[in-house]
Amino acid sequence: MSQQWAYKVAYIDTRGRISCEGLETLIGNERRSAFVRRYLSSLGREGWELVGIQPLTSTSAYYVFKRPAQEGDYSESAPAAEQPRAEPSSGGPAIETA
């Protein structure tokens, strides 16, 4: 069996905001570089390795991390791709949601 991986994506704005899996972290009374380094170090202690950065603006990017899958990493499964469903006939047009 091949290695299974778990992934984490964090939005990091070096002006002082990090958003990851619904949790917001705001800069305290510290330098911007120290703020980001402290956050990245905390993920490293949990076994997460930085594997990619997708820049968005000059101060923000998505940071992608991975680690070998652990018990509980898949407790919240990713939503399956939804297939378009026809609404029950109500005389009006069918509405598809994305």
State yes or no: pLDDT of 87 exceeds 70.
Answer: no
Which residue, among 6, 10, 24, 13, has the nearest Cα to 64 in the 3D structure? 10
For residue range 21-68, what is the model confidence (pLDDT) as tens digits?
Answer: 999 999 988 999 999 999 999 999 999 999 999 999 999 999 999 999
Please report the pLDDT score of residue 57 as a whole number.
Answer: 96
Radius of gyration, alpha carbons of the chain: 19
Q: How far apart are CA 56 and CA 87, in angstroms?
A: 37
Q: What is the mean pLDDT of the chain?
A: 83
Domain boundaries defined on the chain: 5-68
State yes or no: pLDDT of 10 exceeds 60.
Answer: yes
Residue indicated by tokens 């091949």: 2
